[in-house]
Amino acid sequence: QEDSFKNVISHAKEYGYIFASSEIYDGLSAVYDYGQNGAELKKNIKEYWWKSMVQLHQNIVGIDAAILMHPTTWKASGHVDAFNDPLIDNKDSKKRYRADVLVEDYAEKINQKAQKEIEKAKKRFGDAFDEEQFVATNPRVQRYKAEEKEILERLAKSLTEENLADVKALIEELGIACPESGSKNWTDVKQFNLMFGTKLGASADSATDLYLRPETAQGIFVNFANVQKTGRMKIPFGIAQIGKAFRNEIVARQFIFRQREFEQMEMQFFVRPGEELSWFEKWKETRQKWHASLGLGDEKYRFHDHEKLAHYANAATDIEFDFPFGFKELEGIHSRTDFDLKAHEEHSGKKLRFYDPEMGENYVPYVIETSIGLDRMFLAVFSASLQEEDLGDGKSRTVLKLPAVLAPTKAAILPLLKKDGLPELAQEIVEELKWDFRVQYDEKDAVGRRYRRQDAAGTPLCITVDHDSLEDKTVTVRYRDTMEQKRVPISELASIIDQEVNF
C-alpha cells in the first residue's frame, strides 16, 4: 500500500502533474503546485462538475465569490467559535497530532483486518462467494466490525469541548503509540482554530482582522438574496461555486489529500422546510451517479453516514473513496437546516427569506449541501487510474488510464520518422485538431517509446503518420487502454476523438 502511494506521488511529479510548492526552497509543507498536465486535469474535473451540476440543471446557477469576506461572516457561521481541531502532543517526540485522526487510523487498521478476512474467503470460495452473507455471519469479521464501530462511536461522543479528556483516555486505553517514536506519553487534548488570519490595509484596528475563507459555502449564503432576486429563482433551487479555501491544518500529510490551500466544488440547494430529508436522499443518489459515470469502479466508493452531527446539520454523510492509504472522505453531503441563513439574518439584520407563492408563506429555506474537494477528486482519479500492466513475456507497461473526458491531452500526433514529409503532415493534423482538442505533437524517439510515454502521461489516443498516409490520407489510431490499432481516414479524426473524449 505504502509503495503504491509513493509511486503515485513520484509519477505525478515525473509527468508534470504535481510539484511541491516553491520546491527550489525545499517546498512549503502541505502546499502543492499543479504542473502543465495537472492544471489541465484539474480544469477538466472542474468542467465536468460544473457541466453536470450547473449546465444540466435549469434550477442551479453558479457564482464566484471573493476569498476575503466581511469578518462578521465567520462569527455568524460559527467558525470563530467552533472551527477547531483536537490536538495532542507526544511528550517524548515533541510531535503534534490530531487526536481524532490517531483514533480513526487505529480503527481503520481494525477494519483492514476484517477486509483481509473477506479477501481470504473470496479466494477460497471463488465464484460461489457471497460477500454480504459472509460479512453478516463470520464471527471474526463481526468482531472486528463491532470493535471498529464502538471506537468510532466513542470518539464521536468525546469530540466536544467539554469531553476532550475522554479522547485522551481513549487514546491511552487503546494503547496508541506515537507513529514516529513509538512513545505513549501524551499531553492533554487542546482545541486549535483552523482559520488563517490576515489584516485589511495598514490599520491596527481589530475590526480589520480578516480570515481567508475556510470553506466556499459562506460566499453562497451571503449572496442568497442577491441571486434569488436577480435570477428570479424559485424554491427549490441551487447555487454552485468552485473556489479556493484555506485551513491551517496541523496534521498535514497524505500529499494533496489534506492541504493548507485547496479548492472546493460546492453546491447549496435551497428547499422548503420539512422537505430537506427527501432532497438529502436525492442528492446522495445524484452525486453517487456522477462519481459512477467516471468509471473508476463502484467498489472504490462507499457512503459513511455520520453518527455525530455538526452544530448546523440534521443529517450528514460522506462519500468515501479508496485512496492508496485506505477509504477516506472525498465528498460531504449535509442537510444544513436553516442554520446558516438564520445566523446571517441575525448578524446582518437583513431578511434572507423566500416568499413561496404556492404556500402563501415567507420562510427561511432549508439547505442541502454537496461539497467535494477538487484536489481530493484529483487524487482519487489519478491514483485509481495509475496501473502497472502485465503484457506477458516478462514485459509490462505503466499506464495512466484517466477517464478520456478528463485527460489533459486527448491525442498525440506522431510522425513515424523525422523525414520524408511525415513531420509536415503530422503538423498539419495538429493545426486542424487543436481548435477542438488539446493535442500534442511528438517526434522524439522510436514510436514504441513514444506510445509508452503517452500511456504513462494518460493520453487516450495516439495518431501515427507514416508513408502510406502521404498517399492515401489515412493514419493509424492507437487506443491507450486496449493498445488496439486501426487505420482511419484523416478526415474522420475529429469525430473519432470526439466520440472518445466527450462528456
Binding residues for ATP: 247-249, 257-262, 329-330, 373-376
- Cell 514510436 sits on residue: 447
Distance CA 238, CA 451 (A): 44
Q: Which has the closest alpha carbon to 472: 491, 445, 455?
A: 491
CB nearer to ligand ATP: give 309 or 456: 309
Contact 165, 188 (CB under 8 A): yes
Instruction: Choose the binding region for ligand ATP from 256-264, 275-283, 301-309, 360-368 (rule: CB under 6 A).
Output: 256-264
The one among 166, 249, 356, 443 contacting ligand ATP by CB under 6 A: 249
Contact with ligand ATP (CB under 6 A) among 213, 247, 284, 291: 247
Site for ligand ATP in 356-375 (CB under 6 A): 371-373, 375
Q: Does 284 bind ligand ATP (CB under 6 A)?
A: no
Q: Which residue intervals of 337-492 are DSSP H helices?
A: 339-348, 374-385, 422-433, 447-457, 467-472
Which x/- pattern, by CB under 6 A, does the window 49-88 give for ligand ATP? ----------------------------------------
Closest distance to ligand ATP from the beta carbon of 369 (Å): 9
CB of 237 or CB of 327, closer to ligand ATP = 327
The full DSSP string for 125-141 is HGGG--HHHHHHH-HHH
> Rounded CA gap, 265 and 378, in Å?
12
Annotated binding-site members for substrate: 98, 215, 262-266, 369-373
**Could you tell me the smallest distance in angstroms from the CB atom of residue 27 to ligand ATP?**
16
- Residues 332 to 351: which contact ligand ATP by CB under 6 A? 332
Kindly provide the b/e burial profile for residues 138-154, where b requires at least 16 CB atoms within 10 angstroms of the residue's own CB.
beebeebbeebeebbeb
Which residues between 214 and 243 bind ligand ATP (CB under 6 A)?
215
Closest contact distance (angstroms) between CB of 189 and ligand ATP is: 16
Cα–Cα–Cα angle for 7, 9, 12, rounded to 5 degrees: 105
Taking residues 173 to 212 in sequence order and writing x for each that binds ligand ATP by CB under 6 A, - otherwise, the string is: ----------------------------------------
**Residue in 186, 228, 191, 194 with CA at minimum distance from that of residue 212:** 194
Rounded to a whole number of angstroms, the minimum distance from the CB of residue 332 to ligand ATP is: 4
Q: Which span sits near ligand ATP by CB under 6 A: 4-12, 255-263, 336-344, 356-364?
A: 255-263
* Interface with ligand ATP in residues 20-49 (CB under 6 A): none
Q: What cell does 232 get? A: 428570479
**Interacting residue with ligand ATP among 259, 335, 409, 454 (CB under 6 A):** 259
Does 331 help bind ligand ATP (rule: CB under 6 A)? yes
**What is the size of the binding site for ligand ATP (CB under 6 A)?**
16
Q: What letter does residue 257 receive in the DSSP assignment?
A: G
Selection from 222, 100, 225, 227 nearest residue 170 by Cα = 100
- Using CB under 6 A, pick the residue from 17, 83, 106, 262 that binds ligand ATP: 262
Our finding on whether 330 is near ligand ATP (CB under 6 A) is yes
Q: In angstroms, give the least distance from the CB of 86 to ligand ATP.
A: 12
Of 14-22, 118-126, 234-242, 326-334: span binding ligand ATP (CB under 6 A): 326-334
C-alpha grid cell for residue 313? 446539520
Judged by CB under 6 A, the residue of 92, 105, 275, 329 near ligand ATP is: 329
In whole angstroms, the minimum distance from the beta carbon of 164 to ligand ATP comes to 17
**DSSP tag of 247:** -
Cell digits of residue 242: 468552485
Residues 6+ apart with CB under 8 A from 161: 84, 191
- The b-or-e profile of 299-312 (16+ CB within 10 A means b, else e) is ebbeeeeeeeeeeb
Which residue's CB is nearer to ligand ATP, number 267 or number 439?
Answer: 267
Residue nearest to ligand ATP (CB): 373
- SS3 category, 318: strand
In angstroms, what CA-CA distances link 454 with 248, 304, 480, 488? 37, 37, 8, 20
Instruction: Give how far Cα 78 sits from Cα of 270, 310, 473, Å.
Output: 20, 11, 65
CB of 371 to ligand ATP, least distance (A): 4
Beta carbon of residue 104, minimum distance to ligand ATP (angstroms, whole number)? 9
> Residue 97 is placed in which grid cell?
497530532
By C-alpha distance, which of 458, 468, 339 is closest to 409? 458
Return the number of the residue (258 or 450) whose C-beta is nearest ligand ATP.
Answer: 258
Q: How far is the CB of 485 from ligand ATP (least distance, A)?
A: 39
Task: Give the residue among 486, 466, 490, 467 at the shortest CA–CA distance from 477.
Answer: 486
For ligand ATP, which residue of 258, 287, 291, 410 counts as binding (CB under 6 A)? 258
The CA–CA distances, whole Å, from 163 to 81, 85, 159, 169, 306 equal 16, 13, 6, 10, 19
Among 154, 287, 336, 376, binds ligand ATP (CB under 6 A): 376
Nearest to ligand ATP of 319, 425 (CB atom): 319
Tell me the three cell numbers of residue 440: 500534442
Nearer to ligand ATP, 323 or 354 (CB): 323
Of residues 294-313, those binding ligand ATP (CB under 6 A)? none
- Report the interface residues with ligand ATP, using CB under 6 A: 215, 247, 249, 258-259, 262, 264, 329-332, 371-373, 375-376
